[in-house]
Amino acid sequence: MQKLHACDDNTKQQKTCVLCGLAVEIDGFLLTTPNGIQTFCCAGCLSVYQLLNDDNTETSLLNHPLNHEDNKK
C-alpha cells in the first residue's frame, strides 16, 4: 500500500528526488511504498512515479497539506 506524506525537515530520508534526481531544496513529498519511503522534489514527480509504479494500491491523501483543517477556513 502506498501512503502519501507531507514532508518536513524531520522526515527527509534522502536529499534527491527518486524520480528526476534533482536536489530536494524545498519541502517535497514522501511516499511510503513496499520498497520503503521515497522522497520527491515536487508533486509532479510524485504523481509520475505513482503512474509508472501503479500496482493497484490505494494512496492515502490524509496527510497531504491541502487536506488540513486549517486550509479549509
Whether residue 73 lies inside any domain: the answer is no
Q: Residue 33 has what pLDDT?
A: 86
CATH code for the domain of 42: 3.30.40
- Where in the sequence is the domain holding 30, given as residue range(s)? 2-68
Judge contact between 18 and 40, C-beta under 8 A. yes
Going by the DSSP 8-state scheme, the letter that residue 23 receives in this structure is: B
- CA 64/CA 49 separation, integer angstroms: 17
Q: Per-residue pLDDT tens for 9-35?
A: 544 444 899 999 999 987 768 888 888
| Single pTM value for the model | 0.57
Whether residue 38 lies inside any domain: the answer is yes
pLDDT over 90, % of the chain: 26
**The three three-digit cell numbers of residue 8, written as one number:** 518536513
> Which residue shows C-alpha cell 503512474?
51
Whether residue 10 lies inside any domain: the answer is yes
Domain count, the chain: 1
